A and B are shown apart, each in its own frame.
Chain A
Amino acid sequence: MPNTDNSKNLARTSPEMDLLSEKLVSAMTRNFNLETELLDLRKNLEFNKSKVDGLESVKVERDQLKERVKGLEDNAKSTNIELQAAFKLKQDAEEECVKLRHEIEELSASLFDEANTMVSDARKETHSTQIQNRRLVLTIKEKDDMIESLSEELTTLKHIIENMENERIGRAKTATPTLTQDNSFASPLQSAQEDYNGTSYPISSQSEIGQKDSEKNINSGDLPSSNSADIFGSPDLENYNGKYIFSPIYNSLRLDQEGFQDFKRFVTFLQGRAVKSFDYAAIKELALFKKLMLEDIEPALRLDLAPGVSYFNRKPFLSAIVEGRVVIEPISGINEAWKLGHQRNTDTETKLFSYPSDSPPVATMEECAICGESRNDILEHARLYTLKIQRRSKSKPASASSIILPQSIAPAHLYQYSLCTFCVSRIRTICELFALLRIINDSDKTKIWIFSREDVYVKAWCEINKLRAKIFWARIGTWDHVDNNRGNSSLPLLESYGPVTKTNDSSSALKVSLEIQNVFKEALSVDSNTDSENHGVDLNRKQALIGTEDLQKVDGNLKSSVIPPTTTMKEYPKQVLDRVQQEENLFKNDTISQLNLGQEHQLPDGKNDEEVEASTACSPKAEMSSDNGSAESDESYKDAS
């Protein structure tokens, strides 16, 4: 049965089985699908879950953002308020700006107006100024023309005055010479008297007149002094040769001699040189120079006999003279006040010199370097001067001395020599010659001697010979007063000589104030005359020599009768007063003007003598320029002794 039953069961169950298996399969499929769907869903879920998670954080974020947005919104709100405020401000500002712009426009408009008016004013002003200026220029031009014409007129007038002056001098000059010419040989005395008695003695005009005129005056001043006993007076000399001994008037000059040719060659040589310095070494071989040295300089200088110039210093001494490195000056400027013919300024201040203005002359005990003079008896013997030899310097020596620095001078001197008054005059004449040669050498620079024409050579040669003549006369013992051959118009007035100055006893240790016994000696002196190159100086020298002996005697007398030093004129020693009296008596014969003159001479003399007593120092002062004083006094001395 199972089979059948099986079969029968099978048969009956198969379909069912099929159905069921079908059902199973479909269920299985459905299950599978569902499961897949589930898985999917699960996946989906999972995914969504994670998504939700993400969304969660986004949400948090969103919240935060929301908050921030809120904050920002707040911010924006406040900013907005601010903005509105700013906007308001801006509006205000704009309003203001507009206002200002208006204002500025107004202002600039007014400014322009103002500027315009100013410009127009200025233009007006300029215009008027221009007009004024033009007028002024015209005025100036007119004035210039006027000045020009006036100065032309002035020059003409000055010429006229000059001519008048010259005429006057000429007239005055011709007046005396005619007298002398007529009478002098026969009787100079008479001519003098005539001259003198002829109304006015032209004293007042003297200072302005040239040298020559004063020569004449002084000469006529001498004349009244002539007296029968006065053999040494210049009038007698005039009698001797009828002329002044030392005449500056040359009428002829030999140009045919070799000397003139030498001079021309000399000038050519000097001008042709590249270096214009006037060196002894450079010119010592020139013919002219040699000739001058041999004939004029050496015999006058006699350095070989000079006790104070050592053998080795002779050449430097000479070359210094040649080159102009020599300063000859008084020990103090005060010494000059004691010169004959010196015009003392009454208001002389004490500070002018290193010694008081009323100090006696200052000398040194040292003997004269050139002649060995060591006597201290009279002014001319005294060594009142020093000769300083300057160092040869790169710049010119003279400029070294005149530079403002006070120290620069002292070391510039190499050697210093003391000189007596006689030697001073002698050496100065020599220096003058070389000074002239140096000027000729420097003619490019100084433009004084321009040798363009022959007559300039002649003129220069004439000058040189004048100086050679002076050297010659100086050697003989005659000279003019060196100070006065320049600057004629500085001649002092005769009438102003008078005033007596006081002396005091001041004397320095080194420098001895001289004892000068009297003015007479001085009057005999070298300094003879203010100006005259043509004075009887030769004579004076003689007088000086002779006079001194006499005077020394007198001095003895005076000194023995010691009289206390006084400064008043009343207390002259008797002898002196007597002498003065005598002299005054002499004068009484002459005209009043003479008398005055005479007294002027005498007063100082008397004073002097008194000073002698003081024995420290005495004041010759007020040296009369005329020999007149000297001659007279000498003569009266002779009478006295």
Chain B
Amino acid sequence: MSNSAEDYSYDYEYLFKIVLVGESSVGKSNLLSRFTRDEFNIESKTTIGVEFATRTIEVDGKRIKAQIWDTAGQERYRAVTAAYYRGAVGALLVYDISNSSSYEGASRWLSELKDHADANIVVELVGNKSDLNHLRAVPTDEAKSFATEKGLLFTEASALNSENVELAFQQLIKAIYDMVSKHQFDMNDYGNDNKPITGGQTITLTPTPKDSKIKKDSCC
């Protein structure tokens, strides 16, 4: 029994679902691939639908598995919204520091998060492409004060030279972890996914995915 559970690598204590949002071509997919696989595709195409990847990191000695969802920034390729945000405990709101309209889009994405995601979701504003300092269109200070104003975490990162990518994700995951460990999160709303996996709970884990599956079916 325990063997088969290990086959499914429950060797983590928390599972956080994190979504990447932001205007198209700000580098969401490359941030994800840089963080999860240390890859960067200079010729990456626009994301169609949803992609996701996972990576397990350690925070305060606890193994936390981050399941990061990446969706198309482009309206026409965004098939799922409600399902995309369901259960998400963190969001990286990405903009491109060399593209002002992607930054202005941030407020739209914030309201989208407000509409679709849980109220307690931890949001981090990430100015991607920080290697393009010479093409900067969004001054750091302004973005930072916007983030402060909206109560968001803030980082500038570059998926291209991998600067601060790790930091951006770790900072978010740490914030979520702090929140969860303080029990500010009513985890029951999210099924058991976020609960620490303890011995006997393996059995109760299954109903939740099933439930959500049913929901999915009905809404699609």
Contact = CB atoms under 8 A, between A and B. Distances in A.
Contact of A333 (B39, B131, B135, B138): B138
A404 B171 CA distance: 10
A158 B98 contact: no
Contact of A208 (B46, B102, B146): B46
Nearest to A338: B100
Contacts of A486: 25, 96, 98, 129, 132
Contact of B146 (A137, A351, A402): A351
Contact of B99 (A409, A428, A490): A490
B160 A328 contact: no
B25 A345 contact: no
Interface string B149-175: 110011111101111100000010000
Interface string A394-414: 001011011010100100000
Contact of B104 (A207, A344, A396): A344
Given A342-B100, A439-B160, A483-B99, A447 B38 contact: yes
A326 interface: yes
Nearest to B157: A402
A208 B130 contact: no
Given A352-B106, A447-B40, A490-B24, A482 B101 contact: no
B137 A406 contact: no
A168 B119 CA distance: 41
B163 A336 contact: no
A324 B131 CA distance: 8
A385 to B, nearest CB: 9
A443 to B, nearest CB: 10
B195 interface: no
A406 B141 contact: yes
A435 to B, nearest CB: 6
Interface in A176-212: 207-208
Interface residues of A, number: 66
B134 A137 contact: no
Contact of B133 (A207, A324, A487): A324
Interface in B68-114: 73-74, 76, 96, 98-108, 111
A134 interface: yes
Given A129-B1, A328-B134, A399-B164, A490 B96 contact: yes
A137 B202 contact: no
A161 interface: yes
B140 interface: yes
Contact of A435 (B99, B108, B132, B146): B132
A356 B169 CA distance: 31
Contacts of B99: 483, 487, 490
Given A130-B1, A154-B49, A345 B134 contact: no
A447 B206 CA distance: 40
A365 to B, nearest CB: 19
Question: In this complex, which of B1, B105, B150, B203 has the most chain A Cβ atoms within 10 angstroms of its Cβ?
Answer: B1
B144 interface: yes
A153 to B, nearest CB: 12
Contact of A337 (B98, B104, B145): B104
Interface string A122-157: 000000011011101100100000000000001000
A482 B158 contact: no
Given A351-B149, A351-B150, A446 B100 contact: no
B148 to A, nearest CB: 8
B16 to A, nearest CB: 20
A431 B4 contact: no
B45 interface: yes
A355 to B, nearest CB: 9
Nearest to B50: A154
Given A130-B1, A401-B130, A432 B163 contact: no
Contacts of A336: 100-101, 137-138
Given A431-B134, A490-B99, A446 B160 contact: yes
A12 to B, nearest CB: 154
A337 B105 CA distance: 12
B85 to A, nearest CB: 19
Given A134-B4, A162-B48, A401-B133, A207 B74 contact: yes
A428 B132 CA distance: 10
Contacts of A161: 48
A483 B98 contact: yes
Contacts of A342: 100-101
A333 B163 contact: no
A267 B149 CA distance: 46
B42 A448 contact: yes
Contact of A329 (B76, B137, B146, B153): B137
A587 B121 CA distance: 50
B134 A402 contact: no
B49 to A, nearest CB: 7
B133 A398 contact: yes
A461 B133 CA distance: 23
Contacts of B1: 129-130, 133-134
A406 B98 CA distance: 20
Nearest to A331: B139
Given A133-B1, A162-B48, A402-B140, A343 B101 contact: yes
Contact of A448 (B96, B98, B160): B160
Contacts of B45: 162
Contacts of A345: 101, 104-105, 107-108
A354 B141 contact: yes
Contact of A447 (B8, B39, B138): B39
Nearest to A430: B134
Contact of A442 (B136, B140, B155, B161): B161
Contact of A353 (B111, B142, B158): B142
Contacts of B171: 404
Interface in A373-407: 396, 398-399, 401-402, 404, 406
A353 B157 CA distance: 20
A438 B24 CA distance: 26
Nearest to B107: A349
A551 to B, nearest CB: 26
Nearest to B101: A343
Contacts of B203: 129, 132-133
B8 A140 contact: yes
A327 interface: yes
A427 B134 CA distance: 8
A328 B142 contact: no
Contacts of A154: 49
A445 interface: yes
A235 interface: no
Nearest to B143: A333
Interface in B172-189: none
7 contacts: A133-B1, A137-B4, A339-B100, A344-B101, A399-B164, A401-B133, A438-B131
Given A351-B146, A402-B155, A447-B39, 7 more contacts: A140-B8, A158-B48, A328-B136, A353-B142, A439-B131, A447-B40, A487-B26
Interface of B: 1, 4-5, 7-8, 23-27, 38-40, 42, 45-46, 48-49, 73-74, 76, 96, 98-108, 111, 127, 129-146, 149-150, 153-158, 160-164, 171, 202-203, 206
Interface of A: 129-130, 132-134, 136-137, 140, 154, 158, 161-162, 207-208, 321, 324, 326-333, 336-337, 339, 342-345, 347-349, 351-354, 396, 398-399, 401-402, 404, 406, 409, 427-428, 431-432, 435, 438-439, 442, 445-448, 482-483, 486-490, 492
Q: Which 5 A-B pairs have the closest CB atoms?
A: A336-B100, A402-B156, A487-B25, A431-B134, A329-B136
